[in-house]
């Protein structure tokens, strides 16, 4: 009879061995990565200038696009499998980031990259006007509400910069599909992630509102406002929390969410409130933004998962959420000049820079930003997604302007 070893020390040893195997620690670049994950090492790390980190993240995004060969941006770089295939959703919202890099760095190659991303997206638009969910290697036919809306936002940004009529036509088709699949109460219940009902689709309706304002189409604005009204029914006025913000039904029952989707809700509502002239919506978004900020101020770092009272529910950070919220706080600072917003953004971005590997012999790691800090945390285990540097670049450029 085989005896199974048990006990805290054995469990800890197994956990360590598992992390070493998953990170392929025998490779020199991976050994360096794992060593850098120690809290003491990160605390002592000397940070470069903000611009240096921003440029490293931008260079990583360029490599992520080049890795696919089709103009789309690779979903992520995995420690186990390397570069993923193109991800339409985030390729869509990386387009405005490429355009901002062109403007900020006076570098036309970023517009060329945005153009390649647009060509890729136009080539995969479905007959219905929708865009597919997930990576193209996995799916090219099943439509997604959230992904379609993010691409819609990118196409509008491209048309605003270039007057490309094909992009605007594709944007209108996408918007028409979003309106057609919306339920009467304003929610989207079909063609959603895991077929779940969520409030982070506020970051979908805001792009519908933007197009409605841009082309003076009331149907799009009305559909966006219906969704905003529905999201507002899930607002907790006592704490500022929005229910149904998480990635799973369990998250919804426990009233917890990763800061990434919390950022989606806050940002989406603030943008929608501004576009639709809804002071009540913007006030609710600020209430939630303040709740997250107070957590950061209290702890000195931002846990990756928070509950409805803005208390930590994880021991890891979600770096995407840090960057998103930093960008959100900087927009609020630009409006009311409250120094707390700017200080919070500064701290959140500093925490991302501390976790970023600016130097590495491995191209997929150099300049990358992990899903979690440490890299084996619960959000995108041992992966470096393209949306983390996207939001980091957006916030870093905003900080430079501020």
Please list, in sequence order, all residues whose beta carbon lies within 8 angstroms of the beta carbon of residue 193, skipping any fewer than 6 positions away. 133, 144, 146, 247
* Mean pLDDT for the chain overall: 94
Provide the token pair at 104: 């900020």
CB 306 within 8 A of CB 242: no
Q: What does the DSSP assignment read for 41-95?
A: HHHHPPP--HHHHHHHHHHHHHHHHHTTSSSS-BSEEETTTEE--B-HHHHHHHH
Provide the token pair at 295: 């957590």
Give the largest CA-CA distance in the chain: 75
Please list, in sequence order, all residues whose beta carbon lies within 8 angstroms of the beta carbon of residue 46, skipping any fewer than 6 positions away. none
Q: Residue 129 class from Cβ within 10 Å (0-12 exposed, 13-18 middle, 19+ buried)?
A: buried
Across 287-311, average pLDDT:
98
Please list, in sequence order, all residues whose beta carbon lies within 8 angstroms of the beta carbon of residue 38, skipping any fewer than 6 positions away. none
pLDDT given for residue 23 in this prediction: 79
pLDDT given for residue 43 in this prediction: 65
pLDDT digits (tens, 9 = 90+) for 318-360: 999 999 999 999 999 999 999 999 999 999 999 999 999 898 9
**Residue 234 DSSP code:** T
pLDDT given for residue 357 in this prediction: 87
**Residue 384 DSSP code:** E
Confidence of residue 69 (pLDDT cuts 50, 70, 90): very high
Confidence of residue 316 (pLDDT cuts 50, 70, 90): very high
Poorest-confidence range of 31-40, 279-288, 325-334, 372-381? 31-40
Q: How far is CA 30 from CA 23, 25, 267, 350, in A?
A: 6, 5, 35, 23
- Cα separation, 56 vs 51, in Å, equals 9
pLDDT given for residue 46 in this prediction: 63
Confidence of residue 34 (pLDDT cuts 50, 70, 90): confident
CB 315 within 8 A of CB 264: no
pLDDT digits (tens, 9 = 90+) for 230-276: 999 999 999 999 999 999 999 999 999 999 999 999 999 999 999 99
pLDDT of residue 66 exceeding 60: yes
55-401 to CATH, choices 1.10.240.10, 3.90.740.10, 1.50.10.10, 1.20.120.420: 1.50.10.10
Instruction: Give the strand pairing for 383-385 and 76-78.
Output: antiparallel
Strand, helix or coil at 235?
Answer: strand
pLDDT digits (tens, 9 = 90+) for 179-237: 999 999 999 999 999 899 999 999 999 999 999 999 999 999 999 999 999 999 999 99
- Cα separation, 175 vs 349, in Å, equals 33
Number of helices (H), then strands (E), belonging to the chain: the values are: 16, 7
pLDDT of residue 153 exceeding 90: yes
Confidence of residue 35 (pLDDT cuts 50, 70, 90): confident
pLDDT of residue 398 exceeding 50: yes
pLDDT given for residue 287 in this prediction: 98
pLDDT given for residue 1 in this prediction: 46
pLDDT digits (tens, 9 = 90+) for 87-130: 999 999 999 999 999 999 999 999 999 999 999 999 999 999 99
Q: What does the DSSP assignment read for 290-347?
A: HHHHHHHHHHSS--SEEETTS-B--SSEEHHHHHHHHHHHHHHHHHH--HHHHHHHHH
CA angle 360, 361, 365 (to 5 degrees): 50
Provide the token pair at 178: 């979003």
Please list, in sequence order, all residues whose beta carbon lies within 8 angstroms of the beta carbon of residue 334, skipping any fewer than 6 positions away. 402
Q: How far is CA 50 from CA 45, 172, 305, in A?
A: 14, 38, 26
Provide the token pair at 258: 């990763």
pLDDT given for residue 72 in this prediction: 98
Sheet with 383-385, side-by-side order of all strands = 82-83, 76-78, 383-385
Please list, in sequence order, all residues whose beta carbon lies within 8 angstroms of the beta carbon of residue 393, skipping any fewer than 6 positions away. 54, 57, 58, 61, 97, 100, 101
Strand, helix or coil at 357?
Answer: coil
Please list, in sequence order, all residues whose beta carbon lies within 8 angstroms of the beta carbon of residue 89, skipping any fewer than 6 positions away. 131, 133, 144, 146, 147, 150, 151
pLDDT digits (tens, 9 = 90+) for 7-21: 677 777 786 777 777
Angle, helices 339-355 vs 319-336, to 10°: value is 160
pLDDT of residue 168 exceeding 50: yes
pLDDT given for residue 240 in this prediction: 98
pLDDT of residue 4 exceeding 90: no
pLDDT of residue 37 exceeding 90: no
């Amino acid at each position: 009879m085989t005896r199974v070893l048990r006990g805290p020390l054995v469990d800890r040893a197994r956990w360590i061995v598992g992390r070493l195997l998953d990170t392929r620690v025998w490779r020199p670049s991976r050994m360096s990565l794992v060593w850098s994950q120690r809290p003491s090492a990160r605390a002592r790390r000397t940070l470069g200038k903000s611009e240096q980190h921003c440029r490293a993240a931008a260079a990583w995004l360029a490599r992520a696009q080049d890795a696919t060969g089709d103009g789309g941006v690779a979903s992520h770089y995995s420690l186990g499998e390397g570069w993923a295939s193109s991800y339409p959703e985030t390729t869509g919202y990386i387009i405005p980031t490429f355009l901002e890099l062109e403007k900020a760095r006076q570098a036309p190659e970023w517009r060329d990259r945005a153009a390649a991303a647009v060509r890729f997206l136009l080539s995969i638009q479905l007959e219905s006007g929708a865009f597919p969910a997930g990576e193209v290697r996995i799916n090219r036919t099943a439509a997604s509400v959230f992904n379609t809306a993010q691409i819609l936002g990118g196409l509008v940004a491209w048309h605003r910069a270039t007057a490309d009529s094909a992009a605007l036509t594709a944007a209108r088709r996408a918007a028409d599909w979003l309106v057609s699949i919306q339920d009467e109460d304003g929610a989207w219940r079909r063609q959603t992630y895991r077929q779940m009902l969520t409030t982070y689709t506020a970051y979908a309706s805001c792009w519908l509102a933007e197009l409605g304002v841009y082309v003076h189409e009331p149907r799009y604005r009305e559909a966006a406002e219906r969704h905003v009204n529905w999201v507002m029914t899930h607002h907790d006025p006592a704490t500022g929390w929005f229910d149904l913000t998480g990635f799973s039904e369990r998250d919804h029952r426990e009233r917890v969410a990763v800061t990434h989707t919390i950022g989606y809700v806050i940002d989406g509502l603030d943008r929608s409130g501004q576009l639709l002239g809804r002071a009540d919506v913007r006030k609710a978004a600020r209430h939630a933004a303040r709740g997250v900020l107070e957590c950061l101020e209290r702890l000195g770092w931002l846990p990756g998962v928070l509950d409805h009272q803005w208390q930590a529910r994880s021991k890891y950070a979600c770096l995407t959420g840090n960057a998103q919220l930093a960008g959100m706080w900087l927009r609020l600072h630009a409006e009311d000049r409250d120094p707390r917003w700017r200080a919070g953004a500064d701290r959140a971005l500093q925490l991302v820079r501390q976790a970023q590997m600016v130097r590495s012999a491995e191209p997929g790691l150099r300049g990358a930003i992990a899903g979690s800090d440490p890299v084996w945390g619960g959000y995108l285990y041992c992966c470096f997604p393209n949306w983390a540097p996207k939001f980091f670049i957006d916030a870093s450029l905003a900080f430079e302007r501020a």
